[in-house]
Amino acid sequence: MATTTYQRLRTRPPGKRAVRSQLERITASPEFESRPRSAEFLRFVVHETLDGREQAITQHTIAEAVFGRGEGFDPATDPIVRIQAGRVRRSLDRYYLADGAADPIRIDLPKGTYTPAFSPQKTAGRGTHSMATPPQDTDAWPTLLVMPFRNQTACPEVDFVADGVAYDLAAQLSRYAAFQVFLATHASVNPGVAPSIRFEVGGSIGMQGGDLGVKVHLVDRANGGLMWARDFSCPDDGAGSWRLSDAVEATAAMIAEENGLVANRLLGEVRGQPIGGSEAYAAILRHHHYEATRSPQAFVEALEALQGAVEAQPDCALCWSYLARLGAIHWSLGLPGEAMPMKDAVTAARRGVALDPSSVPARLILSYALLLDDEVEEARKGVETALHMNGGSIFWLDAIGYLLTLSGNFEQGPELIRRAIQLNPYHRSACRAGLWLDALRRADGTAALEAARGYDETAVFWHPLMLAVALMETGEVDTAVEEIRRLLELKPDFSKRGHWLITRYVKHDDLVRKIETALDTAGLALQA
């Protein structure tokens, strides 16, 4: 774990001189020396940004400066800039997984933009590490080793694809802050090198006709058992390359999400153990268990564990953030007892961000708490920052889309939710509430009903509420009345508190009126 002092130093953005020095380190590395066009591309966008001309960085300016294209350049018919940007992103990921693992500054090119981002790099604590320095003390955080993927084709030129899949998978896994990720090189494939590593990912690359086949497996090294395996087929795009990113992102999500394979395996070991000690990740697992079950006993255990964790490890950003999230959920759903006042939840969330400004989940949890507390504009800005930091990864994409939708961005939010649902098999079902709200806004009762049925948190009053309102939209009044009965079983005082509970999440007056009118028509009138 990083120390408080180190994390506080990271709150300052790197200066221009430091960024220029980092740029020279990157472009002088073997990764970029062998790819001069990528180095030239990176130099151009970094220098333009440092000189204050980031608004002028477009496909046209890059095409002219880097590729010598003229005024007639048309990005619709000439995708050279987009293609090269993808190569630069992959080269940066590979650089920071190897030669640049200990560099003080990180330069990234987030997906969807050509403007680079500069940030202090996590050179301590969790992240991605070379197996040249195997871990000695994992501090009870999950450890995962990505092994080289085997090239099982007869084509030596596919070696770079196999290497790239392992690099990209390690990079995706390292985005989830609760993991320590280690990448084995071909020179360090010795199963006994790091006995403290718990989980291992590996696989192979093969050919199936003209398509590329990717086999991936996850092993629990504690018992040698195979936890999961899957085959992906990546079609040839017609230009001699294959779309591998979806397979890599889906694999990372299945392994590392909050309710993914590793968390579920470790949660089974935590259940039944006495609460106490300073194991931060065990406390976070108890939070995930509460979210999955909504059990009052699970809530008490999660609260006690997280409070103990922040006392024992006050520099653990994720513990502060998940403590805030636990308190915010409890408050916004009007559950019995009081975990913490909402102002304390916001304070805890702010502390999580202060300790780790580069943490996407910490920023999203702060935005969530602010939204519930009616600080909608600050919440929206925080979500937009998290989206930029996320760099196109499907990790947290469902939460980003959900919070963007709740804060009023009905163009981008639902689109991100749909992408997360498509790519992430372990997406959070709460994101479907964003699709439900958007469907109500568009007066699409069928879509609202589909979204409500996909929201599987049946122990939460929002489940029957969403169904009842959607059923009223589609004219199924009798079934809607049945859902109203179930709503009142979960929340007997909903007629008194319903308006307050609804407006914790729905911040648009016209949508609040639409929801309350539907409930009233179904026989549930809310008090002002």
pLDDT tens digits for range 221-248:
988 899 999 888 877 655 445 567 778 8
Helix (H, G, I), strand (E, B) or coil at 23: helix
Of residues 178 and 312, the one with the higher pLDDT is 312
pLDDT at 187: 44
From residue 235, how far is each of 245, 448, 459 by CA, in Å?
A: 12, 34, 41
Residue linked to tokens 């989940």: 361
Range 339-348 average pLDDT? 90
142 pLDDT more than 70:
yes
Range 311-339 average pLDDT? 89
Range 7-29 average pLDDT? 70
Which of 51-65, 163-177, 421-435, 457-471 has the highest mean predicted lDDT (pLDDT)? 457-471
Confidence of residue 274 (pLDDT cuts 50, 70, 90): low
CA distance 46 to 108: 10
* Least confident span in 8-12, 217-221, 339-343, 502-506: 8-12
CB atoms within 10 A of CB 60: 15
Q: What is the pLDDT of residues 301-310, one digit of tens each?
A: 899 899 989 9
DSSP characters over 456-506: --TTSTHHHHHHHHHHHHTT-HHHHHHHHHHHHHH-TTHHHHHHHHHHHH-
* Least confident span in 67-76, 118-127, 275-284, 503-512: 118-127
pLDDT at 13: 57
Range 287-293 average pLDDT? 87
Range 420-438 average pLDDT? 92
pLDDT at 339: 67
Please name the residue ranges forming H helices in 34-100.
36-50, 59-67, 80-97
483 pLDDT more than 70:
yes
Q: Which residues of 291-319 are buried (b: 16+ CB within 10 A; e: fewer)?
A: beeeeeebbebbbebbbbbbeebebbbbb
Asked whether 259 and 285 are in contact (CB, 8 A), the reply is no
Length of the chain: 528
415 pLDDT more than 50:
yes
Of residues 215 and 268, the one with the higher pLDDT is 215
CATH 1.25.40 in the chain, residue ranges: 428-528
29 pLDDT more than 60:
yes
The proportion of the chain whose per-residue pLDDT surpasses 70, expressed as a percent, equals 88
From residue 221, how far is each of 133, 172, 277, 383 by CA, in Å?
A: 19, 21, 25, 37
256 pLDDT more than 80:
yes
Residue 402 tokens, joined:
């959900």
pLDDT at 271: 67
From residue 229, how far is each of 148, 200, 215, 497 by CA, in Å?
A: 16, 12, 7, 47
pLDDT at 123: 43
Residue linked to tokens 């070379």: 130
Confidence of residue 419 (pLDDT cuts 50, 70, 90): very high
Which of 3-17, 228-242, 257-271 has the highest mean predicted lDDT (pLDDT)? 257-271
CATH number of 428-528: 1.25.40
∠ CA 12-131-1, nearest 5°, is 40
Range 15-29 average pLDDT? 86
526 pLDDT more than 50:
yes
Helix (H, G, I), strand (E, B) or coil at 159: helix
Range 364-390 average pLDDT? 94
Which of 164-178, 270-284, 328-342, 392-406 has the highest mean predicted lDDT (pLDDT)? 392-406
pLDDT at 8: 24
Could you tell me the sign of the dihedral formed by the alpha carbons of 322, 326, 327, 332, in that order? positive
Range 262-289 average pLDDT? 76
CA distance 46 to 303: 45
10 pLDDT more than 60:
no
pLDDT at 430: 93
pLDDT at 338: 64
Residue 365 tokens, joined:
């949890």
Residue 526 DSSP class? P
Confidence of residue 177 (pLDDT cuts 50, 70, 90): low
DSSP characters over 107-155: EE--TT-SS-EEEE---SSSSEEETTS--S--TTS-EEEEPPPEE-SS-
Of residues 182 and 434, the one with the higher pLDDT is 434
287 pLDDT more than 50:
yes
User: Rounded to 5 degrees, what are φ and ψ at 147?
Assistant: -85, 160
Flag whether the pTM goes above 0.85: no
Confidence of residue 19 (pLDDT cuts 50, 70, 90): confident
Q: What is the pLDDT of residues 444-473, one digit of tens each?
A: 999 999 999 999 889 899 999 999 999 999
The proportion of the chain whose per-residue pLDDT surpasses 90, expressed as a percent, equals 44
- Mean pLDDT, the chain, rounded, equals 85
CA distance 348 to 353: 9
Asked whether 201 and 248 are in contact (CB, 8 A), the reply is no
CA distance 403 to 318: 19
CA distance 355 to 7: 6
Asked whether 364 and 383 are in contact (CB, 8 A), the reply is yes
Confidence of residue 104 (pLDDT cuts 50, 70, 90): confident
CA distance 494 to 523: 12
Helix (H, G, I), strand (E, B) or coil at 191: coil
pLDDT at 349: 97
Q: What is the pLDDT of residues 106-139, one digit of tens each?
A: 898 987 789 998 887 754 334 444 444 444 444 5
